[in-house]
């Protein structure tokens, strides 16, 4: 097999062998990525088994949970079926890995969360065992081999009646539930028993139901109870191992909740470590409130809601030195992040307000940001203490409605943060009738928190962005439980990969960082939105859509939430649906700069007027400037476009060289460099727009190649490619028609999946 090409996968080396077949490392020659391929064993190659396997693989692939090994596709060559999966680096739990109590708790939470997601999609695994659980080099758990999963109906009691004899004995004996061992109908609670058996072994080093023979093992499962382990997880383990499934945990979500209670400082592990933190403290800085009614979204039939809009402006440093200048931006940015957890608040992103630094007019700024009130502040560092004064200003009346002064030791930034929280909670929030939202995640390390604040104030330009990454990497090492630091680090990694030289390595670190942040704080808006973007750009549209849909369910009145839905729909080619979500997002948050890429939706719809209107929410930025040139290209205004290109517009230099009649060799060299940069990341959208430029330069074959790459990366560019005037001269070619057919199939696959997974 080594060196052989199957479909568009070149086999590189064997990785292992299991009950379902042999696993190989392979290269995807189309997308240039390395994957794992499982060649299905001879026993599963009859037509009925293959069809069942395909159905089950499609069901499992729709999950795309961070703790479930992703199935990219299932195919067959010469009657031999195979699964294509993500390639993982690390070890299975079969390798006898040992973990300290806290690490095991973290892995158990990930395990339970993945099972909860699968069970909610009516998928059970049926073969949970250490060999099917993988721990990556980053320390995250992945469930393998959902190829043995069974798509079940809500009437789970009837499912097993149609199973074959081989179906009823699926699974490894020592981890089977009693009902599975008896060959009875099974449901999600069977996985819960297996979960308990695996966790028991990890906690104690011995099997819960061992035995010298199969008969003894079966007898132990059916009639014997293992001794409770001397471990903080013992209550969860023993409840999962109840032989009567009516007494067992009834859902993996219940297990996850109990495990998270253990992780809470009041839980067993935290108690052992003597960490005591006050709960229910909310850090909030906000001003006044404007009650306004939100329009219903296509994603929700909920009633309209009322929220309070909030804008926090940069603080002013009144000290004699500039050592603390970073607090001008860092403190309000941190406070906005914390405020964003409250569903009764619509908090303006700090990207919108940070430009208002220095001597500004609060009333004028408030009108500009479309809020009723703003918060201003100043601080002074003197004599080893920092004094902070905060003011809430009513924009319409132009008067101060609340003022507070705070003082804390200069080096104890966490104390300063907590004191600010107390003052705002006891003073401003009650006055504005704002209900408190408990903080779920607080910093624990002073040095880490200081590094986080410094990084928060740094620009996203390539050089300072890398400096911020260095600070944040140090911060998360010192305080690995602080979710905002992980979110910000992930955000910085993404910028390093997309807009600097970090490449795919940085983007993969960004995705891992967002997942880590969400494991610590499931309500982190920055990481929830970031994860949807990552999944979308990876071509995992079903997983991205599930995450985006869940975000809208959690935050129906959030413009950011609706934007994430539009982002997925755009990549699926459902442009009119995407436009509706963009309009909903803008009606909820009209000045949100993050909505700028909705302009792409309207460009693809050839609605240049609306495209420019969305582009204006980020007027003056490099992104906005570059996008305006894309509009000019679509409009055929080539002379105006040529005049607009600046030396710093790297991605437009090949086009400019062609317009100026540069030698073909020079154009080819510049175009090749830009193409390599576009293909250096996994995103399918940039190749689509690069193809437009290639056509405009007369490089039709290069344009077709880029279009194919875009569709191969699950950028379903139909009907956009039909309506794009730039593709007119290549539209009649057979290769274009083949790509068009693939784009339609890309979209239809998503639509079929969505129809099957409607809420």
Contacts of 436 (CB under 8 A, 6+ apart): 280, 282, 284, 425, 429
SS3 percent helix, strand, coil of the chain, rounded to 5, is 55, 15, 35
CB 527 within 8 A of CB 486: yes
> Between the ranges 32-36, 119-123, 298-302, 722-726, where is the mean pLDDT highest?
722-726
Residue 674 — φ and ψ, nearest 5°? -70, -40
Ranking 191-200, 224-233, 298-307 by mean pLDDT, the lowest is 298-307
Q: What pLDDT score was predicted for residue 171?
A: 46
Residue 701: half-sphere exposure toward Cβ, Cα within 13 Å:
1
Cα angle 744, 748, 749; round to 5: 120
The Cβ of residue 359 has, within 10 Å, a number of other Cβ atoms equal to 5
User: Beta 33-40 vs 21-28: how paired, if at all?
Assistant: antiparallel
Query: 210 vs 742, which has greater pLDDT?
Result: 742
Ranking 195-199, 340-344, 375-379, 571-575 by mean pLDDT, the lowest is 340-344
Separation between Cα atoms, residue 547 and residue 541, nearest integer Å: 10
Residues 292 and 369 in one domain: yes
Q: What pLDDT score was predicted for residue 620?
A: 81
Residue pLDDT, tens place only, 555-584? 887 888 999 999 999 999 999 999 999 999
Instruction: Tell me, yes or no, whether 327 lies in a domain.
Output: yes
Q: Which of 640, 644, 641, 735 is nearest to 691 (CA)?
A: 735
**Radius of gyration of the chain measured on its C-alpha atoms:** 28
Written as six digits, the tokens of 112 are 């339970």
Q: Which of 193, 185, 113 is nearest to 155 (CA)?
A: 185
Separation between Cα atoms, residue 546 and residue 568, nearest integer Å: 10
CB 181 within 8 A of CB 221: yes
Q: What pLDDT score was predicted for residue 740?
A: 95
**Averaged pLDDT, 738-748:** 96
Q: What pLDDT score was predicted for residue 273?
A: 38
Separation between Cα atoms, residue 454 and residue 461, nearest integer Å: 15
Instruction: Tell me, yes or no, whether 700 lies in a domain.
Output: yes
Residues 370 and 487 in one domain: no
Ranking 120-134, 292-306, 341-355 by mean pLDDT, the lowest is 292-306
Q: What pLDDT score was predicted for residue 388?
A: 84
Residues 213 and 324 in one domain: no
> Between the ranges 335-339, 374-378, 502-506, where is the mean pLDDT highest?
502-506
Q: Which of 617, 592, 586, 615 is nearest to 603 (CA)?
A: 615
The DSSP element (H or E) to which 75 belongs, if any, is: strand 71-77
The Cβ of residue 253 has, within 10 Å, a number of other Cβ atoms equal to 15
Cα angle 12, 678, 4; round to 5: 15
Our CA dihedral for 195, 198, 200, 203, rounded to 10 degrees, sits at: -120
Written as six digits, the tokens of 738 are 């083949």
Residues 115 and 230 in one domain: yes
**DSSP SS3 for 620:** coil
Residues 114 and 253 in one domain: yes
**Averaged pLDDT, 114-133:** 86
Residues 236 and 147 in one domain: yes
Query: 415 vs 43, which has greater pLDDT?
Result: 415
Residues 281 and 372 in one domain: yes
> Hey, which residues does 392 pair with through a beta bridge?
375, 402
Separation between Cα atoms, residue 630 and residue 612, nearest integer Å: 11
> Hey, which residues does 76 pair with through a beta bridge?
81
Residue 282: pLDDT over 50: no
Query: 49 vs 446, which has greater pLDDT?
Result: 446
Q: What pLDDT score was predicted for residue 157?
A: 34
Show the DSSP H helices in 264-412 as ranges.
Answer: 268-272, 327-339, 350-353, 362-369
CB 687 within 8 A of CB 713: yes
Instruction: Tell me, yes or no, whether 435 lies in a domain.
Output: no
- Considering 492, 518, 544, which residue would you say is the last residue of a domain? 518
Residue pLDDT, tens place only, 595-643? 899 999 999 999 999 999 999 988 887 788 889 999 999 999 999 999 9
Instruction: Tell me, yes or no, whether 581 lies in a domain.
Output: no
Domain tally, the chain:
5
| Residue 100 backbone class (left: φ over 0; alpha: ψ -120 to 50; beta: rest) | beta
The Cβ of residue 225 has, within 10 Å, a number of other Cβ atoms equal to 12
Confidence band (pLDDT; 50, 70, 90) for 374?
confident
Instruction: Tell me, yes or no, whether 597 lies in a domain.
Output: no
Instruction: Tell me, yes or no, whether 543 lies in a domain.
Output: no
Q: Check which CATH number belongs to the domain holding 467 and give it.
A: 1.25.40
Separation between Cα atoms, residue 332 and residue 457, nearest integer Å: 10
Residues 348 and 263 in one domain: no
As a three-state string, the secondary structure of 371-402 is CCEEEEEEEEEECCEEEEEEEEEECCCCEEEE
Mean of per-residue pLDDT scores for the chain: 80
Its domain, for residue 61, covers: 5-86
Residue pLDDT, tens place only, 418-462? 777 777 766 666 666 666 666 667 888 988 988 988 888 787 778
Residues 267 and 118 in one domain: yes
Q: Check which CATH number belongs to the domain holding 175 and give it.
A: 1.10.510.10
Residues 339 and 228 in one domain: no
Instruction: Tell me, yes or no, whether 594 lies in a domain.
Output: no
Query: Which DSSP string do the residues of 676-735 spell out, in sequence order?
Result: HHHHTS--SHHHHHHHHHHHHTT-HHHHHHHHHHHHHTT---TTHHHH-GGGGGGTTSHH
Residue 323: pLDDT over 70: yes
Ranking 180-189, 203-212, 313-322 by mean pLDDT, the lowest is 313-322
- Considering 272, 287, 309, which residue would you say is the last residue of a domain? 272
> Between the ranges 60-69, 112-121, 539-548, where is the mean pLDDT highest?
539-548
Q: What pLDDT score was predicted for residue 98?
A: 82
Residues 118 and 249 in one domain: yes
Residues 111 and 244 in one domain: yes
- Considering 518, 549, 569, which residue would you say is the last residue of a domain? 518
Give counts: helices (H), strands (E), the chain. 32, 18
Query: Which DSSP string do the residues of 84-134 spell out, in sequence order?
Result: EEE---EEEGGG-----HHHHHHHHHHHHHHHHHHHHTTEE-S--SGGGEE
Separation between Cα atoms, residue 635 and residue 656, nearest integer Å: 17
Residue pLDDT, tens place only, 638-669? 999 999 998 888 888 888 888 888 888 888 88
Q: What pLDDT score was predicted for residue 304?
A: 35
CB 410 within 8 A of CB 386: yes
Instruction: Tell me, yes or no, whether 190 lies in a domain.
Output: yes
Q: Report how far Cα 580 is from the mean position of its chain's Cα atoms.
A: 22
Residue 133: pLDDT over 80: yes
What proportion of the chain, given as a percentage, has pLDDT over 70? 81
């Amino acid at each position: 097999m080594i060196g052989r090409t199957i479909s568009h996968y070149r086999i590189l080396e064997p990785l292992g062998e299991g009950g379902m077949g042999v696993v190989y490392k392979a290269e995807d020659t189309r997308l240039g990525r390395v994957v794992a391929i499982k060649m299905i064993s001879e026993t599963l190659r009859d037509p009925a088994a293959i069809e069942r396997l395909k159905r089950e693989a499609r069901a499992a692939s729709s999950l795309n949970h961070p703790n479930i090994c992703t199935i990219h596709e299932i195919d067959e060559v010469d009657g031999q079926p195979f699964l294509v999966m993500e390639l993982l680096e690390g070890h299975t739990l079969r390798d006898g890995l040992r973990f300290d109590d806290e690490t095991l708790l973290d892995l158990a939470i990930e395990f339970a969360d993945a099972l909860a997601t699968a069970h909610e999609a009516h998928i059970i695994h049926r073969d949970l065992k250490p060999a099917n659980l993988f721990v990556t080099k980053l320390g995250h758990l992945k469930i393998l081999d959902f190829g043995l999963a069974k798509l079940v109906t809500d009437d789970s009691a009837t499912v097993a009646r149609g199973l074959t004899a081989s179906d009823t004995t699926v699974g490894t004996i020592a981890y089977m539930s009693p009902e599975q061992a008896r060959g009875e109908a099974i449901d999600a609670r069977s996985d819960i028993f297996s979960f308990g058996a695996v966790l028991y072994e990890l906690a104690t080093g011995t099997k819960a139901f061992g035995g010298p023979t199969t008969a003894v093992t079966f007898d132990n499962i059916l009639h014997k109870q293992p001794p409770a382990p001397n471990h903080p997880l013992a209550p969860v383990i023993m409840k999962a191992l109840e032989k009567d499934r009516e007494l067992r945990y009834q859902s993996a979500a219940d297990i996850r909740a109990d495990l998270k209670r253990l992780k809470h400082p009041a839980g067993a592990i935290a108690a052992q470590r003597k960490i005591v933190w006050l709960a229910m403290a909310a850090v909030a800085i906000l001003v006044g409130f404007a009650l306004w009614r939100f329009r219903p979204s296509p994603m929700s039939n909920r009633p309209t809601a009322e929220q309070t809009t909030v804008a926090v402006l940069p603080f002013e440093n009144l000290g004699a030195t500039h050592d603390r200048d970073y607090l001008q931006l860092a403190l309000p940015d941190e406070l906005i992040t914390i405020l964003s957890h409250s569903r009764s608040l619509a908090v303006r992103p700090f990207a919108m307000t940070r430009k208002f630094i220095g001597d500004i007019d609060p009333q004028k700024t408030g009108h500009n940001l479309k809020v009723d009130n703003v918060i201003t502040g100043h601080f002074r560092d003197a004599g080893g203490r920092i004094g902070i004064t905060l003011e809430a200003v009513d924009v319409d009346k132009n008067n101060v409605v609340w003022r507070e002064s705070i003082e804390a030791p200069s080096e104890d930034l966490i104390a300063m943060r907590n004191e600010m929280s107390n003052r705002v909670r006891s003073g401003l929030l009650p006055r504005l009738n704002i209900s408190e939202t408990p903080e779920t995640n607080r910093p624990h390390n002073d040095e880490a928190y200081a590094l986080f604040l410094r990084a928060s104030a740094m620009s996203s330009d390539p050089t300072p962005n890398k400096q911020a990454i260095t600070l944040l990497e140090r911060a998360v090492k010192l305080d690995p439980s602080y979710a905002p630091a992980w979110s910000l680090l992930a955000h910085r990694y993404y910028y390093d990969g997309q807009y600097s030289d970090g490449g795919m390595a940085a983007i993969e670190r960004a995705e891992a960082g967002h997942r880590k942040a969400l494991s610590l704080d499931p309500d982190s808006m920055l990481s929830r939105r970031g994860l949807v973007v990552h999944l979308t750009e990876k071509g995992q549209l079903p997983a991205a859509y599930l995450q985006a849909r869940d975000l809208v369910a959690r935050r129906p009145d959030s413009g950011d939430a609706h934007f994430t839905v539009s982002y997925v729909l755009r990549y699926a080619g459902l442009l009119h649906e995407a436009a509706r979500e963009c309009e909903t997002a803008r009606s909820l948050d009209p000045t949100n700069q993050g909505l700028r890429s909705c302009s792409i939706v309207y460009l693809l719809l050839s609605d240049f007027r609306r495209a420019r209107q969305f582009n204006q929410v980020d007027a003056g930025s490099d992104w906005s400037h570059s996008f305006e040139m894309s509009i000019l290209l679509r409009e055929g205004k080539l002379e105006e476009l040529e005049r607009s290109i600046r030396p710093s517009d790297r991605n437009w230099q090949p086009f400019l060289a062609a317009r100026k009649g540069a030698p073909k060799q020079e154009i080819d060299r510049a175009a090749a460099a830009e193409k390599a940069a576009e293909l250096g990341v996994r995103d399918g959208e940039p190749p689509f727009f690069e193809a437009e430029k290639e056509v405009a330069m007369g490089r039709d074959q290069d344009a077709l190649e880029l279009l194919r790459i875009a569709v191969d990366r699950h950028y379903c560019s139909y009907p956009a490619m039909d309506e794009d005037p730039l593709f007119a001269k290549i539209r009649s070619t057979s290769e274009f028609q083949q790509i068009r057919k693939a784009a339609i199939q890309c979209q239809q696959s998503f639509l079929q999946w969505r129809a099957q997974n409607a809420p």
